[in-house]
């Protein structure tokens, strides 16, 4: 069921053309290869047809076309997905990337956002009014996949997940109907799309709550020598145990990139980076981040006032398209001494200069929401680890994937058993870990809105008991 598709011939494509305002691309047409290329260079698939939608009518027509002709469907938003589920072989890709409208209501502090928007585009529109909603930490991420999987970033400890700030959606379900879902309409569907990934339809409009943020925020990096990593992490652990929800502090092991503020003699050497953000006033932030800045003897400390938009884009250069990527991820309730030792051990054997071990601080407002309130189940996690293995030479595939899997296994005894759905690299296989105790309820909702499993190119909730 995961791969079956009926062949697409020209006669049935011509039927879709009469109903379609956007662009239809077949393998021989100009623009096809560009449209099928995605962020992770490990994914090389050739769909039979790519339907680049101009609006809701196109999305409905494409869904009806796929259902009627029994086609394998994948949905492409914008940004990136590690598993490459946006593209399939021999089926239909419903491409939402041309749908880029953002409409901000500064009085109501809301934004309506179409599914082809990336985070930098959303931030650009909301920051014009000094507003923002919690989104991811890389501005080239697409809003659709981020939100449907949960979504977390620098504002999440204060304001919750991206999905927690969702007021409503317009969504095309498998029967081709456009439905509105919110706390008061199609409530079961609204519950499911907040963490249940793309299993329930194609969202054509997201409505978000916005918050007063920026235009400047206190943020930045503290870079420590790798030799000091264990001591720094123990001090970091004590610091984050008592910080208010306004503070977010992440830790990253990687080879120091050749950035201007890092002394040249450290370029290419393994370091430990603490990335900090304060979601409040500068004066309060200076006081709150002071103990973090007093840890150890850092190589450099560049925490200071930065434009919120600039901080959101600060790490984009490390995650550009065209490289090969493989991730493994865990959630944790705490950082133990054994975890610290394992982090140091595997950082020392990191296979490429482009790779990193990143640990995000979660908790705060994220965990003030109950597990039952949304489909996103990981309300016990205080930290999230992403083993972001990245390389360019296909000959290194086995080495890099093996390193990530070995580190993942070594960290498993310390983990909750849950995994963030947007960080799963394999096409299938970790659905129970992704949706946990909410899986069975998701199955029931899937039966209602997609009983034939049309939307299955994802961490799939199968409509069976």
- pLDDT at site 189: 98
What's the pLDDT score for residue 429? 76
User: 273 near 229, Cβ under 8 Å?
Assistant: no
Measure CA 104 to chain center: 22
The CATH code for residues 216-423 is 3.40.462.20
Q: Do domains 102-213+435-449 and 216-423 have the same CATH topology?
A: no
d(CA 270, CA 290): 25
- Does residue 5 have a pLDDT over 60? no
**What was the pLDDT predicted at 282?**
96
The whole-angstrom separation of Cα 387 and Cα 355 is 8
Architecture label for domain 10-95: 2-Layer Sandwich (3.30)
- Over the chain, what is the mean pLDDT? 96
Question: Is the CATH number of domain 102-213+435-449 3.30.465.10?
Answer: yes
pLDDT computed for residue 12 by the predictor: 84
Identify each DSSP E strand in 133-256 by its residue range: 166-172, 178-182, 202-209, 211-212, 216-225, 247-255
Share of the chain above pLDDT 70, in %: 98
Rounded CA separation 23/91 (Å)? 16
Tokens of 359: 């640990």
pLDDT at 428: 72
Distance of CA 242 to the CA centre of its chain: 27
Q: Could you read off the pLDDT of 361-387 as tens digits, one per residue?
A: 999 999 999 999 999 999 999 999 999
Q: CA–CA separation, 331 vs 414, rounded Å? A: 9
Give the mean pLDDT of 417-427: 93
Predicted pLDDT at 9 = 77
pLDDT in tens, 447-457: 999 999 999 99
Residue 304, classed as helix, strand or coil, is: strand
- The pLDDT of 384-398, averaged and rounded, is 97
Residue in the structure block whose two tokens are 């662009």: 23
- What's the average model confidence in pLDDT over 429-433? 89
Exposed (0-12), middle (13-18) or buried (19+): which is 405, by Cβ within 10 Å? middle
Tell the residue number behind the tokens 């030792």, with chain if given: 341
Predicted pLDDT at 1: 38
User: Residue 243: what pLDDT?
Assistant: 97
- Closest to 99 measured CA to CA, from 121, 66, 125, 84: 121
Q: How far apart are CA 82 and CA 198, in angstroms?
A: 15
Phi, psi of 190 (to 5 degrees): -65, -40
Dist. CA 193–CA 197, nearest whole Å: 6
Residue 301: left if φ>0, alpha if ψ -120 to 50, beta else—which one?
beta
At 7, the pLDDT band (50, 70, 90 cuts) reads low
Taking each helix axis from N to C end, the angle separating 56-68 and 10-17, rounded to the nearest 10 degrees, works out to 150
Range of weakest confidence among 6-10, 163-167, 256-260, 432-436: 6-10
Q: Is there a contact between 36 and 45 (Cβ–Cβ < 8 Å)?
A: yes
What does DSSP say about strands 300-301 and 324-332: parallel, antiparallel, or unpaired? unpaired
DSSP state of 455: -
Prior bond of 426 cis (ω within 30°): no
Residue-range domain boundaries for the chain: 10-95, 102-213+435-449, 216-423
Tokens of 123: 């931030």
Residue appearing with tokens 């040249």: 264
Specify burial of residue 447 (Cβ count, 10 A radius: 0-12, 13-18, 19+): middle
How far apart CA 352 and CA 396 sit, in angstroms, is: 9
* Residue 404: closest CA among 427, 430, 386: 386
pLDDT tens for 46-83 read: 999 999 999 999 999 999 999 999 999 999 999 889 99
Alpha-carbon span 212 to 401, nearest angstrom: 41
Specify the pLDDT at position 2. Answer: 43
348, two tokens: 């020392």
pLDDT band at 465 (very low <50, low <70, confident <90, very high): low
Cα–Cα distance measured from residue 269 to residue 81, given in angstroms and rounded to the nearest whole number: 29
Closest Cα partner for 427 from 4, 57, 83?
A: 83
Q: How far is the C-alpha of 196 from the C-alpha of 203, rounded, in Å?
A: 12
Is the model's pLDDT at 184 over the cut of 90? yes
Listed residue (290, 301, 300, 311) closest to 243, CA to CA: 290
6: pLDDT strictly greater than 70: no
Mean pLDDT of 113-136: 98
Q: Are 304 and 218 in contact (CB under 8 A)?
A: yes
User: What does the pLDDT read at residue 464?
Assistant: 86
Q: What is the DSSP string of 83-152?
A: T-TT--SSSEEEE-TT---EEEETTTTEEEE-TT-BHHHHHHHHHTTTEE----SSTTSBHHHHHHH---
In this predicted structure, the answer to whether residue 4 has a pLDDT above a threshold of 70 is no
Q: What is the DSSP string of 26-85?
A: -TTSTTHHHHH--S-TT-----SEEEE-SSHHHHHHHHHHHHHTT--EEEE-SS--TT-T
For residue range 205-222, list pLDDT tens digits in order: 999 999 999 999 999 999
Enter the tokens of residue 9.
């011939």
Nearest alpha carbon to residue 213 among 153, 129, 296: 129
Per-residue model confidence as pLDDT tens digits over 241-277: 999 999 999 999 999 999 899 999 999 999 999 999 9
Burial of 189 (0-12, 13-18, 19+ CB in 10 A): buried
């Amino acid at each position: 069921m995961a791969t079956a598709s009926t062949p697409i011939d020209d006669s049935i494509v011509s039927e879709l053309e009469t109903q379609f305002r956007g662009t239809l691309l077949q393998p021989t047409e100009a623009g096809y290869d560009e449209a099928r290329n995605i962020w992770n260079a490990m994914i090389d698939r050739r769909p039979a047809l790519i339907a680049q939608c101009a609006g809701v009518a196109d999305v409905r027509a494409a869904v009806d076309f796929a259902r009627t002709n029994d086609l394998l469907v994948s949905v492409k938003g914008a940004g990136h997905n590690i598993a490459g589920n946006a593209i399939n072989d021999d089926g239909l890709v419903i491409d939402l990337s041309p749908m880029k409208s953002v409409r901000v209501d500064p009085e109501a502090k809301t934004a309506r956002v179409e599914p082809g928007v990336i985070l930098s585009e959303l931030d650009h529109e909301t920051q014009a009014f000094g507003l923002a909603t919690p989104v991811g930490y890389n501005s080239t991420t697409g809003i659709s996949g981020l939100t449907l999987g949960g979504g977390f970033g620098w504002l999440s400890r204060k304001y919750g997940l991206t999905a927690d700030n969702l007021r409503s959606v317009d969504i095309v379900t498998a029967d081709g109907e456009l439905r509105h879902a919110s706390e008061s309409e199609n409530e079961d569907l609204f519950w499911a799309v907040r963490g249940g990934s793309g299993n329930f339809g194609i969202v054509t409009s997201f409505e978000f709550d916005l918050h007063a943020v920026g235009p400047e925020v206190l943020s930045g990096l503290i870079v420590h020598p790798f030799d000091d990593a264990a001591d720094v992490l123990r001090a970091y652990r004590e610091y984050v145990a008592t910080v208010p929800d306004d503070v977010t502090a992440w830790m990253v092991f990687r080879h120091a990139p050749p950035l201007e503020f890092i002394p040249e003699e450290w370029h290419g050497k393994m370091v430990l980076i603490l990335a900090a953000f304060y979601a409040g006033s500068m004066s309060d932030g200076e006081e709150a981040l002071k103990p973090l800045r007093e840890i150890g003897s850092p190589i450099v400390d560049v925490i200071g006032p930065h434009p919120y938009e600039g901080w959101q884009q600060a790490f984009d250069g490390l995650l550009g398209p065209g490289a090969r990527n493989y991730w493994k991820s865990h959630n944790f309730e705490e950082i133990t001494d054994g975890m610290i030792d394992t982090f140091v051990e595997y950082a020392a054997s990191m296979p490429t200069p482009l790779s990193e071990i990143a640990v995000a601080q979660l908790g705060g407002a994220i965990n003030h929401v109950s597990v039952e309130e949304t489909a996103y189940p990981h309300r016990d996690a205080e930290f999230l680890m992403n083993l972001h293995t990245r390389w360019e030479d296909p000959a290194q595939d086995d080495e890099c994937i093996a390193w990530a899997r070995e580190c993942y296994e070594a960290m498993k005894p310390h983990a909750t058993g849950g995994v963030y759905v947007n960080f799963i690299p394999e096409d299938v296989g970790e659905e129970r870990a992704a949706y946990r105790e909410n899986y069975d309820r998701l199955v029931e909702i899937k039966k209602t809105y997609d009983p034939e499993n049309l939307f299955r190119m994802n961490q799939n909730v199968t409509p069976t008991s």
